């Protein structure tokens, strides 16, 4: 994407004018005059020097903002990524019901094929109304994992040679699934994956929650850092298992719950009980026992707009498979085909079990402190909003802020980077 223009440095006077315009509704007349005086003083004193530094930084970096954004918005943030950073999608039901293993297999096959297109440069370029968009973030879509640090987090990108496998979570346990290269027979590929997943579903015993590794990734980052260091020190097997888990292309969660209502579905995609997840993974595909499915993404190096393209492909491919009358089933796979998966094992000591217990207490208390409700609004959509010459995103943001103001009678601090 070197042909695209670099992120420009906004003009100082334009920045100040935009700030004043945004701040005006929040101040009284006297307060706003004080604000303007401070802005004018900034333009006359510190502003030009800082603006020159920005231009110098822009000349030395491909993107003058990116490192600062990642550092201060994400990596220095010590809050839980599960509750404060990650985003989730809940997808519509398939046109025909699909069993959990088959649905998960179709999703894995779709994601693997998408990755192959991406890495072979055969994926069509992103564009909006014919204008090419930067696809820099796509390099972090697969085979990446965020790690907790003592003071700041960081993200590791694993080479293709180490990341061809898929991590599977089920009943509190983790498995490594090794998927053969995609063939021209998609249904046969799906059937082979389905067979492996069905064995996992049929034979896995529930792991007690007090030994859950996944719930640690939902803890506050300082707590997760301490727990992860402890986990690594308990045994070399732990270090090896964690490396395999974190280097996977992505994670698939085979959930035992079966959410029905919008509220149940949203909460299940958001966090569930924290056990069949690894919230530091680049993304997690969530497949529930009743054939519903969703997506949970770690936000630091990719935005939801990037992962949305993958999600659109996942939904399209799964719905295509579900709607086709003639499909290959797991029973059609040749007898003796290897079940190419294995469970990842972890060892525990009292200190590690203590970390897990604290993480569970934090998780449960945080879920209990939140109220989640859902609203299905179908009176009109984005096309009608666009006719009013308003951004659909801005429209929804203003609607939420207006609702908050009507309820609590004050304007809250808000965050919406888009």
Q: At what angle do helices 100-119 and 304-323 cross, to 10 degrees?
A: 130
Token pair of 149 as six digits: 């640090």
Instruction: Tell me if 225 sits within 8 A of 370, measured CB to CB.
Output: no
- CA separation for the pair 108, 318 (Å, rounded): 10
Query: Which residues belong to the active site?
Result: 299
The SS3 of residue 89 is strand
CA distances (Å), origin 147, targets 137, 150, 280, 305 = 18, 10, 7, 23
The SS3 of residue 153 is coil
User: Which own/partner contact pairs does 396-403 have at CB distance under 8 Å and 24+ positions apart?
Assistant: none
Instruction: Tell me if 99 sits within 8 A of 287, measured CB to CB.
Output: no
Number of other residues whose CB lies within 10 A of the CB of residue 112: 20
Sequence-distant (≥ 6) Cβ neighbours of residue 194 within 8 angstroms: 101, 102, 104, 105, 329, 330
The SS3 of residue 383 is helix
- CA separation for the pair 58, 335 (Å, rounded): 60
Pairing of strands 251-254, 166-170: parallel
Gyration radius of the chain's alpha carbons:
24
- CA separation for the pair 227, 73 (Å, rounded): 23
Enclosing H/E stretch for 115: helix 100-119
């Amino acid at each position: 994407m070197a042909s695209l223009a670099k992120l420009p440095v906004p003009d100082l006077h334009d920045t100040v004018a935009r700030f004043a315009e945004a701040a005006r509704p929040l101040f009284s007349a006297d307060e706003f005059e004080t604000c303007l005086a401070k802005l004018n003083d900034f333009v006359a004193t510190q502003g030009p020097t800082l603006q020159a530094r920005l231009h110098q930084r822009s000349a030395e970096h491909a993107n003058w903002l990116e490192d600062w954004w990642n550092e201060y918005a994400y990596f220095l943030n010590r809050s839980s990524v599960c509750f404060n950073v990650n985003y989730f999608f809940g997808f519509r039901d398939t046109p025909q019901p699909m069993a959990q293993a088959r649905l998960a297999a179709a999703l894995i096959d779709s994601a693997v094929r998408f990755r192959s297109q991406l890495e072979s440069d055969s994926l069509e370029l992103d564009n909006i109304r014919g204008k090419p968009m930067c696809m820099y973030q796509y390099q972090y879509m697969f085979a990446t994992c965020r790690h907790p640090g003592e003071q700041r987090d960081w993200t590791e990108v694993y080479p293709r040679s180490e990341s061809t496998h898929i991590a599977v979570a089920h009943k509190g346990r983790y498995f490594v699934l090794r998927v053969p290269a995609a063939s021209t027979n998609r249904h046969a590929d799906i059937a082979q994956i389905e067979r492996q997943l069905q064995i996992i579903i049929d034979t896995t015993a529930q792991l007690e929650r007090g030994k859950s590794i996944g719930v640690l990734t939902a803890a506050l980052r300082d707590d997760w850092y301490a727990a992860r260091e402890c986990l690594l020190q308990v045994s070399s097997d732990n270090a090896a298992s964690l490396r395999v888990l974190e280097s996977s292309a992505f994670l698939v969660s085979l959930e035992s719950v079966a959410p029905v209502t919008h509220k149940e579905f949203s909460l299940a995609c958001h966090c569930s009980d924290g056990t069949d997840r690894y919230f530091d993974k680049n993304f997690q595909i969530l497949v529930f026992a009743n054939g519903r499915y969703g997506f949970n993404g770690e936000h630091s190096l990719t935005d939801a707009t990037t992962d949305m393209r993958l999600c659109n492909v996942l939904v399209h491919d799964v719905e295509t498979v579900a709607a086709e009358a003639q499909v290959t089933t797991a029973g059609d796979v040749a007898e003796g085909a290897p079940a190419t998966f294995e469970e990842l094992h972890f060892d525990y000591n009292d200190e590690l079990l203590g970390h897990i217990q604290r993480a569970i207490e934090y998780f449960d208390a945080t879920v209990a402190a939140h109220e989640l409700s859902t609203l299905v609004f179908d009176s009109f959509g984005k096309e009608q909003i666009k006719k009013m010459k308003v951004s659909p995103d801005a429209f929804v943001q203003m609607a939420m802020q207006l609702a908050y103001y009507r309820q609590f009678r004050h304007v809250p601090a808000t965050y919406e980077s888009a």
